[in-house]
Structure 1
């Protein structure tokens, strides 16, 4: 897309990179596997900004290559294998469903470093995982939704029922409910990371049920486009990237995934010979989860409250999962003042009290 012009002589994609001659030994090749197109305006777009940041940081010392719209599963394993064969020194696989393919290929290429986004398997010493505490950002969006809803119905479009997504749903609802005890949450599962038609259908279905504030854990701008048809009656939030084209409404704020520092740091480690296996889970304090501009559509008092919540999470003074919190069935999950452990969050498979409906298998 338009950002490709920044790459100059760098490989414009794997189609070219795979056929290119081997790079000089002092050039590090960093490669990226994307589940959607780099022009999706959301998840993949933001990962690609990280790839471009790597190129900008290191210049001719680094070559980057990528493959867009790679389905999770066998196709991913073929692409990752081809990347390893093409001379990639480090490969970032940027979707949860690439977890097993990444580890399968890593076993065959012990000299290549692999970084898998949002997964948990590190079956080989050359595999690391990295994730972001998206639930921190969902807390802020939930507060705004709870304060601004006029119908007391807010919505959340889920991609797949994995812990990362369930964390976001729970955090969004808990903070909307704190802001507005009368709020109800409608969850619609799209069963896709990127499918604008399905995402639009999910948003439309919720709007037809009276939902007037929509958050999404899918990758396109389609939910915001659907909200925009309502002439200001429905608000929404940028997901993964700012989605600024929809400012000042329906996009009233956004959760931005800033992968740039992580990608630069990990490529630098390969260049220095200091790369080691790790599991990274960063958030607002590290600048990996960022709330985009809160627009003038949001009332001043609500904006001030949201900014105070951002500051509290960033400073480490507040954790979005702090008790008392019950599970959906009314049983106690966290007692007064108790903070959720990372291990529980990483395996979260339940709704909190107040959310109706079941989590699909």
Structure 2
């Protein structure tokens, strides 16, 4: 009898919790798990700006909590469990490697909402996913790289060989190749999201190969710092945040991809407050304002700037897709026919280079 009473009480608790979300909440505790430090100047910095935007929007209706430098793995599951036990109503897990931990903890806390960035697993009703079409911004960078390279050698610093990164490399190369058929791409894998020393070494390796334009999918300004040492011979791009600091402008940072998470975070916390929250999967890009292109500096000729802005606007308007055929895979096998555009499923599972890129993707 006692066991039945306990089960009934637990069920009633879940019903009340579910009802609270359906009817709205007086106050929300929104929690954020970060893979790097909020001062990284890139990925984590930009996610934290989104968290601060939530606080500014809702004031004392929201309590913000966050934890920095959480490794992707068992530590993430521990941190998420502590947050759920600590009264977090919604937890944003802001790195791809948190995917399994997010779903594992969500199963144990069905009354807590979990939001996973850049992932695809929604194994439970309380897990949502959100992503940004970074590859759209990579196309704009690629156009600039193809136009600006003097050596015809452009470079890319990859973090980890996951689809998000691979599609960015492919988009960057295709856009560069379209405006400069002689361009060659070198990729260096740093195997880190944030490690300034490794990122600097990766940039040095590319520069030693004769690369004079470097894009990166890592989180610090270290690649720009290495480019700056060349006295204007090498240019690069801000990654995840604008990185528009005086020592890197007008060169080597000639523009940037800015991840604008604030509108999404405000929307999702607001939905908990007003009772409209539902599970969802979001993948927005330039058109939705989640991917922004930073100021293109005067180091870029006016005609190239105009061309890059026109590409940005066409992508944002939906009249141009960075992956439009004909495109073959690296081995020469057909992927997209003339005029065909890449299905989202192909991009989200991308594990191949396009034709023209040399080297192997690490396994």
Q: Is the shorter-chain TM-score for this pair beyond 0.5, marking a shared fold?
A: yes
Q: How does 1:215-254 map to 2 (within 5 A)?
A: 215-245=215-245, 246-254=248-256
Please state if 1:61 is matched with 2:61: yes
Deviation digits for residues 274-324 of structure 1 (CA, Å, limit 9, x no counterpart): 211111100011000000000000011100000100110011100000011
Deviation digits for residues 174-197 of structure 1 (CA, Å, limit 9, x no counterpart): 000011100000000000001000
Partners of 1:316 and 1:122 in 2: how far apart? 27
How far 1:332 sits from its partner (Å)? Answer: 1.1
Please state if 1:305 is matched with 2:307: yes
Deviation digits for residues 106-127 of structure 1 (CA, Å, limit 9, x no counterpart): 0111000000000111110000
How far 1:26 sits from its partner (Å)? Answer: 2.2
1:92 aligns with: 92
Identify which of structures 1 and 2 has the higher relative contact order when contacts are C-alpha pairs closer than 8 Å and 6+ apart: 2
1:26 aligns with: 26
2:154 aligns with: 154
Specify every segment of 5 or more residues in structure 2 that has no aligned partner in the other structure, as ranges.
Answer: 1-24
1:107 aligns with: 107
How far 1:173 sits from its partner (Å)? Answer: 0.1
2:263 aligns with: 261
- The secondary structure found in structure 1 opposite 2:271 is helix
2:353 aligns with: 351
Partners of 1:244 and 1:321 in 2: how far apart? 29
Superposition TM-score, scaled by structure 2 size: 0.92
Q: How does 1:33-72 map to 2 (within 5 A)?
A: 33-72=33-72
Deviation digits for residues 85-135 of structure 1 (CA, Å, limit 9, x no counterpart): 111110000000000111111011100000000011111000000000000
Q: How does 1:77-226 map to 2 (within 5 A)?
A: 77-226=77-226
How far 1:247 sits from its partner (Å)? Answer: 1.6
Partners of 2:36 and 2:169 in 1: how far apart? 22
Deviation digits for residues 39-72 of structure 1 (CA, Å, limit 9, x no counterpart): 0000000000000000010011101010001011
Superposition TM-score, scaled by structure 1 size: 0.93
Paired residue total = 337
How far 1:270 sits from its partner (Å)? Answer: 1.1
- The secondary structure found in structure 2 opposite 1:48 is helix
Q: How does 1:268-279 map to 2 (within 5 A)?
A: 268-279=270-281
- The secondary structure found in structure 2 opposite 1:244 is coil
- Larger radius of gyration, structure 1 or 2? 2
- The secondary structure found in structure 2 opposite 1:104 is helix
Deviation digits for residues 2-52 of structure 1 (CA, Å, limit 9, x no counterpart): xxxxxxxxxxxxxxxxxxxxxxx7221100000000000000000000000
Partners of 2:118 and 2:256 in 1: how far apart? 20
Please state if 1:332 is matched with 2:350: no
Q: Moved runs in structure 1, 4+ residues, more than 6 A?
A: none
Which stretch of structure 1 is more off in the superposition, 161-170 or 273-282? 273-282
Partners of 2:60 and 2:144 in 1: how far apart? 44
1:5 aligns with: none
Which stretch of structure 1 is more off in the superposition, 270-279 or 337-346? 270-279
